[in-house]
A = this chain, B = another copy of it.
């Protein structure tokens, strides 16, 4: 059925008249020094001529280490995730690890199913960007010894190591910026309260206002972090006020929501930023090209992925200290033309 069988270390050993464990040693950089210099050469030469290709699957079975990490994303199609994944992959690659990928927005239980199937593949740990605040199964997993690092979002337990952006600070940057422009009546379009980011940004927004002695002018929760979610919530906000707007600026919980807001305001002929200022969060690509260029809070996507992967890798190799940390990255304000002086 298959063509010529793969060449194995046993084949090499026989060919060279040595034992296969000798070949095994010669193949492993970490144990190569145990081998005679001349023999080492011969092994390498033979490997080349016979076309030997190491079989990590076999090594994995023997050692229990697959050199493979499970990565769970809601949906790679959401522009927030590519740079995170890229960061993850760069960190893993440097250590010879691969990412096994799953998008979990297919079904409700997709994340758990993926974790189970990846567990069967014996991934050494998980990088999870899909945590929901009331996920208790994640904490259960951890207690059974599964290595997990959360990215971008945390779960409710707070017990799992995570790498996230400082959402409170992000909101402070946004609010300070607007207040600096003279705005006093500021509205917030929140993300889903089921997500840690949705909640943290909402609280962050309120606290940031409070620091200026202000209260929210209006609040609404979007059903999802999408353009449509933003449009719908914004329409509701405006309609509820029947034309009498009591706010001059909107802080959106993420960029897609903000884009939805821009879209709706454009359709309703409300000028941005002359009549209403809008600011997003995350700073996804192309925001500088939209109309008007959208102000946002830039978070360190790539860095987030990279650090999360490093954290997991360190935990796997038993590096002390780093194991249980939660790393909080600093966001940065990016002011563009969608925010301007209060009317």
Contacts and interface: CB of A to CB of B under 8 A. Distances in A.
Interface stretch (A116-124, A178-186, A235-243): A116-124
A117 B96 contact: yes
A140 interface: no
A121 B98 contact: yes
How many copies of the chain does the oligomer comprise? 2
A76 interface: yes
Interface string A96-122: 101111110010000000001111111
Contact of A100 (B61, B79, B81, B99): B99
Interface stretch (A16-24, A86-94, A150-158, A203-211): A86-94
A61 B63 CA distance: 13
Given A57-B57, A76-B85, A83-B77, A98 B96 contact: no
A321 interface: no
A287 to B, nearest CB: 8
B102 A98 contact: yes
Contacts of A106: 90, 93
A292 to B, nearest CB: 8
A254 B64 CA distance: 45
A259 B56 contact: no
